[in-house]
Amino acid sequence: MDNYIFKLYWGLKMIINDAINEMIENVHKLSQELDEKTINEMMDNIIASKNIFVLGLGRSGLVAKAFAMRLMHLGFSVYVVGETITPAIHDDDSLVAISGSGETSYIISTAKITKKRGAKIIAVTSYEKSTLASMSDLVVSVKGRTKIDMEKDYITRQMGGKHQSLAPLGTLFEISTLIFLDGFVAELMNKMEKTEEDMKLKHNVLE
């Protein structure tokens, strides 16, 4: 019995290690493939916007909220789409839409409204040829295994004699996007000559 528990423990540990390494590898690849021109354009767009709206669904929505919080700490007027205090969007605003597939129906419909209102759209997606990307003024590519990859990814792995990905569903995209956007905030801080002390002045004190 003790031997069984020992093997079970080390098997679990190996799965955890393999899953974490898979995520780290994806983030490392993302870091190597970042396009400086795109990053600078995204910074210029956000700085020039009167209001910034962020949008994502599910776990991507949590990433969007984390990004919105950091933008608020930097002094931007920022809103999470779907919250009750979200105002109307105008042509001097921007929407940052996060969707791994770039095909999420609610995000597409919101992007259409944004485009009609004349506001800029920044897409953060794994698919540069997606519907969302085709509608956007700027596309930030964050590669990662998304939900629509699962079937073909599974077949490819099986034919190659490899195990199925240990990062479920859209985890690779979501984790990579969270880290990318936190890194982007660091770059934005440098461009705006903001410090951590400046950000602390905007931090919630009501908790």
Query: Residue 167 has what pLDDT?
Result: 57
Q: Where are the domains of the chain?
A: 2-200
Query: Residue 15 has what pLDDT?
Result: 75
In the block, tokens 């994502």 appear at: 56
Averages of pLDDT over runs of 10 residues in the chain (207 residues) are: 57 72 90 94 98 96 98 97 97 97 96 98 96 98 67 49 56 94 97 90 80
Query: Residue 170 has what pLDDT?
Result: 73
Contact between 94 and 119 (Cβ < 8 Å): yes
CA atoms within 13 A on the CB side of 41: 13
The one catalytic residue in 128, 174, 187, 193 is 174
Contacts of 175 (CB under 8 A, 6+ apart): 23, 26, 27, 144, 167
**How many whole angstroms separate alpha carbon 35 and alpha carbon 162?**
31
The token duo for 43 is 């910074």
* 3-class DSSP state of 75: coil
**Residue 174 annotated as catalytic:** yes
**Whole-model pTM over 0.85:** no
List strands edge to edge, sheet with 138-141. 78-80, 52-55, 94-98, 120-125, 138-141
Q: Would you identify the CATH topology of the domain 2-200?
A: Rossmann fold (3.40.50)
